[in-house]
Amino acid sequence: MVEALTGQTITEKIFSLAVGKKVFAGDIVVVPVDLAMAHDGTAPLTINSFREMGGEKVWDPNRIILVIDHVAPSSFEGTSNLHKLMREFTHEQNIKNFYDIGWGVCHQLMVENHVTSGMVVVGADSHTCTYGALGAFATGIGSTEMAAVFKTGKLWFRVPETIQCRFTGEIPPNVMAKDLILHMVGEIGADGATYKAIDFSGDVVKKLSVDGRLTLCNMVVEMGAKSGIIQPDQKTYEYLKSKNRFPKTMLKNDPNIKFKEIYEFEISKLEPQIACPPTVDNVKSVSEVEGLEIDQVFLGSCTNGRIEDLKEAAKILVNQKIHPNVRMIVIPASRNVYLEALKEGLIEIFVKAGCTVCNPGCGPCAGAHQGVPAKGEIVLSTSNRNFVGRMGCAEAEIYLCSPITAAISAVKGKITNVNHVR
Amino acid sequence: MVEFEVKGKVWKFGDDVSTDAIISGKYKFKTLNMKELAQHAMETLNPNFAKKVNFGDLIIAGKNFGCGSSREQAPRVLKELGISAIIAASFARIFFRNAINVGLPVVECEKAAKEINEKDIVEVNLEKGLIKNLTQNKVYKFNPIPTFLLNILKVGGLVEYLKQYGGYEV
């Protein structure tokens, strides 16, 4: 009888299917994972721990994905040695899903090539939560836990409670998914969703492209969430189909659910948003910091390096030049995005505008190459973190914004609200 | 082996200490040598920390300790420096799991996190869920760590645990 009254969230259903019995938030379960991903910042330690555990053969080489993206190509000898360790491991373990330098950011490669609705996915990277946008349960774990997954194919979880987030109203012009999620982070704070799943529902989310939905789920960890989730729909299906994949399941929330919390954000009058240093939840309207001179702009990352992001930025940069005092670094999130951008003429627009286009990967976001700022400099970035020292210099300040705000600000040489220009 | 009772001098930090602050990305991509990395632990928050910290010392911090990147190097460098436990108002979830997995005790206790001061001498009993501030003569209770996580800590981390248990026993 209790079951009849208690509906399940998508996340509870994914876990239930994975363990073969009905489970609810709060239950601790040991779950077989569908996919396990690690990159050059985390895989070397995973490989070490795997060996220390007495690991000889990984549980399933076809379910493991390894990516070199954080410092790619390597800029230090030490890093090169860690990359070599990864390459040797992939050969030894017969791991076919290995993406060496230039393929792109791990999360973009996962959504383009591997993840599908209904899966349980773990990644040794906090932004693994991105894949919830395709209706999968996906979360970040550490290197030694990943080693345990490599060895056993399983991991323990506490099934999370779900917070529902409903964006309502009409998306204003020049406001992107990034502005919506920055707004939410600002409202609920850097620990506002710790241990929880965030379910994005409502008409606004339905209208967003898959690219935009990925941006939403990418940043749930900036509120401490375990995972983000968006109910798969026709758009999800078409996206997967275009990549020759099909959903494992197309799950929905039951109607009779008690969410842990429900947040509703009316966004019809939302202005472009910006996260100010030194925390991601220090969010303001762009207008509040308008006029601040900037030194470097980064367009890219697992948050905003997809084709829609590049297109929106290119619309602003076409027939324009970036300000002479600004460097602008553009990095497509993957080789596929890069090729599409080439085909559509976007790369030509960026180069003619004076941008520096780098190979697909994490770029300056990881703080080790491709645009480490100097002391006292101000960086405007479409990525997801602005912590002190994040980009490799503790005395530089990082502001986070949408691709549109990044592009118009690069042209003006200062933080600019695009709605005040046109 | 992790002792179930730890005792040491306190280093105090604020809210939202990120894993970037614990160990910066600019170092962690270069090496797996934790001794080397540990020299840069917390350097933007307290440049003296890595030089002056003593084996057995504890960290007290505010909310959301270890937020951000999943880097396991963060709890590892703190353990390398001899930190015996971290008491915080709350932890970011990946850091919390990573700390247990590398055998570094983590305790959530908002009141203790607020009232304990830098340089206080503090004793923590993980099994009983007790924190004693020997300097201020105060006692705090916290929800004891679940048994299977305690078992991971008991053997010194997940590597040893899996060697002994073969898999998770939750």
**Interface predicted TM-score (ipTM) of this complex, two decimals:** 0.94
Say if residue A111's pLDDT is above 80: yes
- Distance, in Å, from the CA atom of A84 to the CA atom of B86, rounded to the nearest integer, reads 35
Chain Cα centroid distance, residue A161: 21
- Distance, in Å, from the CA atom of A79 to the CA atom of B27, rounded to the nearest integer, reads 10
pTM given for the model: 0.96
For residues B29 and A368, the answer to whether their CB atoms sit within 8 Å is yes
Q: Do A162-266 and A10-158 fall under one CATH topology?
A: yes
Give the pLDDT of residue A17.
Answer: 97
Q: At what angle do helices A43-52 and B158-165 cross, to 10 degrees?
A: 40
Helix extents (H) in B39-146: 49-52, 73-80, 93-101, 110-115
Q: Taken in order B8, B13, B19, B23, is the CA torsion positive or negative?
A: negative
Give tens-digit pLDDT for A61-110. 999 999 999 999 999 999 999 999 999 999 999 999 999 999 999 999 99
Give tens-digit pLDDT for A151-171. 999 999 999 999 999 999 999
Give tens-digit pLDDT for A28-47. 999 999 999 999 999 999 99
Contact flag A372-B26 (C-beta cutoff 8 Å): yes
- Residues of chain A with C-beta less than 8 angstroms from the C-beta of B37: none
Which residues make Cβ contacts (< 8 Å) with residue B161, sequence separation at least 6? B151, B152, B155
Q: Which residues pair with B9 in a beta bridge?
A: B121
Q: What is the CATH number of the domain that holds B96?
A: 3.20.19.10
Give the pLDDT of residue A31.
Answer: 96
| CATH H-level superfamily of A10-158 | Aconitase, domain 3 (3.30.499.10)
Class of domain A273-420: alpha beta
Strand stretches in chain B, DSSP E: 5-12, 58-61, 85-88, 106-108, 121-125, 130-133, 138-141
The residue among B164, B156, B168 whose CA lies nearest residue B75 is B156
Q: Where are the domains of chain A?
A: 10-158, 162-266, 273-420
Give tens-digit pLDDT for B29-88. 889 999 999 999 999 999 999 999 999 999 999 999 999 999 999 999 999 999 999 999
Give the pLDDT of residue A281.
Answer: 97
- Residues of chain A with C-beta less than 8 angstroms from the C-beta of B25: 41, 70, 366-368, 389-390, 392
Say if residue A1's pLDDT is above 50: no
Give tens-digit pLDDT for B115-162. 999 999 999 999 999 999 999 999 999 998 888 899 999 999 999 999
| CATH H-level superfamily of A162-266 | Aconitase, domain 3 (3.30.499.10)
- Distance, in Å, from the CA atom of A362 to the CA atom of A357, rounded to the nearest integer, reads 13
Mean pLDDT of A293-308: 98
Is residue B129 in a domain? yes
Q: How many residues appear in chain B? A: 170
Say if residue B2's pLDDT is above 90: no
Number of domains in chain B: 1
Q: How far is A394 from chain B (nearest CA, A)?
A: 7
Residue among B21, B31, B71 minimizing CB distance to A388: B21
Is residue B62 in a domain? yes
**What are B21's two structure tokens?**
């602050």
- Distance, in Å, from the CA atom of B58 to the CA atom of A207, rounded to the nearest integer, reads 49
Mutate to test the interface with B, among A144, A157, A221 (most CBs of B within 10 A): A144
Confidence of residue A2 (pLDDT cuts 50, 70, 90): very low
Give tens-digit pLDDT for A195-229. 999 999 999 999 999 999 999 999 999 999 999 99
**What are A398's two structure tokens?**
């990082």
Say if residue A361's pLDDT is above 60: yes
Is residue B161 in a domain? no
Confidence of residue A3 (pLDDT cuts 50, 70, 90): very low
- Distance, in Å, from the CA atom of B152 to the CA atom of B170, rounded to the nearest integer, reads 11
For residues A149 and A122, the answer to whether their CB atoms sit within 8 Å is yes
Q: How many Cβ atoms are within 10 Å of A94's Cβ, its own excluded?
A: 11
- For chain B, the residues whose C-beta falls within 8 A of a C-beta of chain A are 16, 18, 20-21, 24-26, 28-32, 44, 63-64, 67-73, 90, 92-94, 97-98, 101-102, 146, 148, 157-159, 162-163, 167-168, 170
Give the three-class secondary structure for A285: strand
| Mean of per-residue pLDDT scores for chain A | 96
Give tens-digit pLDDT for A247-280. 999 999 999 898 999 999 999 999 999 999 999 9
Range of the domain at B31: 5-145
For residues B94 and B112, the answer to whether their CB atoms sit within 8 Å is no
